[in-house]
A and B are shown apart, each in its own frame.
Chain A
């Protein structure tokens, strides 16, 4: 068994999370791309159309497209079918505000962490991960 591996990143939205990774091969617009009721990817143009991402640590290069992605993230939190954390290579302002409002309204932390593009590409899919974004220097531990 490999030793746990640490990736350091920057906190965009505070919180901690523990779960398995869903590594997306392409950016995803949550609006039009993610169904908050089923937790699945519904964007037919996305290479992982149909994938369940609720309850996972979602690792993706960035968000994409619509302003409404913030609303879709919040609605998924209300329904309890949300990504447990978001790990991005680009700081996506739309996802950041969605996660901040989720914490404000529903007291649910969906930490958002930015890591380097090279580190992001090396995160394995389906890995057990702990995200700690309580400090501005965030930490991701891959078991």
Chain B
């Protein structure tokens, strides 16, 4: 790999031992990816602040102690627990203690305590064409696809190394040629699929992940009024069923104004046409619940709910109430939670039984639920991961149907 003067200085320790250690990890990393050189990044988003065990603490502590600071603005992803409402989770207190220590390590290095997988819903956003190092699969896919910023698929540890050095290997999705679509995915008309619009986007995303795996795809057939929240849900599902870190939507996402902008003129893309049946089959696989079975909870906010999503939820639950014993948990950031708690329209949420979860997400640590019944969710990511991560049976459905199930305390058709 070619090294610039700054890379050599970082490796030689001119920026301190922490940046040196980080660069010593980035160099073999860049070589493994076949990068020719390093480039500057404008910001970083760190996933490594989520506690998975003592090894995460060992890692961050290796960088502490020399006054090291991140070299670019750096936000923090969710943690393993909600430090504001720990009673909403069935976690041993020691987990919160360990998590606090891990968070403190990242704060000591100068990271901002955003504690959300969707910091772009509040902070200044990465801009079109800007190189960034954003970890957390649904954050990566969002900044690449919806903002046209450039992040490769970063894992824990690479995120902090990039933040401490301000450098990443010029590889993967930082390069023009790797941002072109290798797959053209034709979506069935939302009306023809017989799925509610929100469920249509989630199932389309889930199908995209399964078909594309890690290939960049361009979707044709998404409505021209597709919203950012819909793309957020689609991307999170695609990054769960596959390793999609960038997708284009013709006429919607910023790099795909015309098909010619995202297709490689030299190679024909693979082409797949999805039918309404294909999407309904995915919806069926992610919802095995039968009518009449008990519901223990409704979980939303994976990725973290936006102010718009809260407003829509409040309108949907106005005058209604969840059945006794059904927990209604919606995850978001502390900053958006504050905004919602102060909003005049929020009363409808609390009357329905909505409780906010911050700092974390409800599929990382088991929420404290009274019943053993189904968890209904409009999130493809939640439905995909929760059975493995927290041992909960999840039923994916449209928001509208989720709310009717929560109201009845039973699965309704």
Q: Which A residues fall within an 8 A CB radius of B? A: 11-14, 27, 29, 31-33, 36, 42-45, 62-72, 74-75, 77-79, 90-98, 100-101, 104-106, 112
Contacts and interface: CB of A to CB of B under 8 A. Distances in A.
B56 A67 contact: no
A43 B388 contact: yes
Nearest to A42: B388
B12 to A, nearest CB: 18
B182 to A, nearest CB: 13
B384 A62 contact: no
B387 A67 contact: no
Contacts of B239: 65-66
Contacts of B172: 93
Contact of A67 (B29, B156, B214): B156
Contacts, number: 138
A65 B240 contact: yes
Given A78-B58, A97-B155, A101-B25, A68 B53 contact: no
The 7 closest A-B pairs by CB, nearest first: A94-B155, A70-B155, A75-B53, A12-B32, A67-B135, A78-B55, A67-B47
- Residue picked from A69, A77, A104, most chain B C-beta under 10 Å: A104
B50 interface: yes
Contact of A71 (B56, B171, B214, B388): B56
Contact of B157 (A44, A79, A97, A106): A97
B43 interface: no
B32 A96 contact: yes
B379 interface: no
B137 A32 contact: no
Contact of B55 (A11, A71, A94): A71
B360 to A, nearest CB: 13
Nearest to B51: A71
B327 interface: no
A104 B50 contact: no
Given A27-B243, A100-B25, A62 B59 contact: no
For the complex, would chain B's binding face be called helix, strand, loop or mixed by DSSP majority? helix
Contact of B137 (A66, A77, A78): A66
B293 to A, nearest CB: 18
B152 to A, nearest CB: 6
A96 B157 CA distance: 11
B28 A13 contact: yes
A62 B28 CA distance: 19
B213 A67 contact: no
Contacts of B69: none
12 contacts: A13-B32, A27-B243, A64-B242, A65-B243, A70-B155, A70-B156, A71-B155, A74-B156, A97-B156, A100-B28, A100-B29, A105-B59
Contacts of B21: 104
Contacts of A112: 32
Nearest to B152: A93
B33 A91 contact: yes
Given A13-B32, A65-B240, A97 B158 contact: yes
A72 B32 CA distance: 20
A95 to B, nearest CB: 8
B232 interface: no
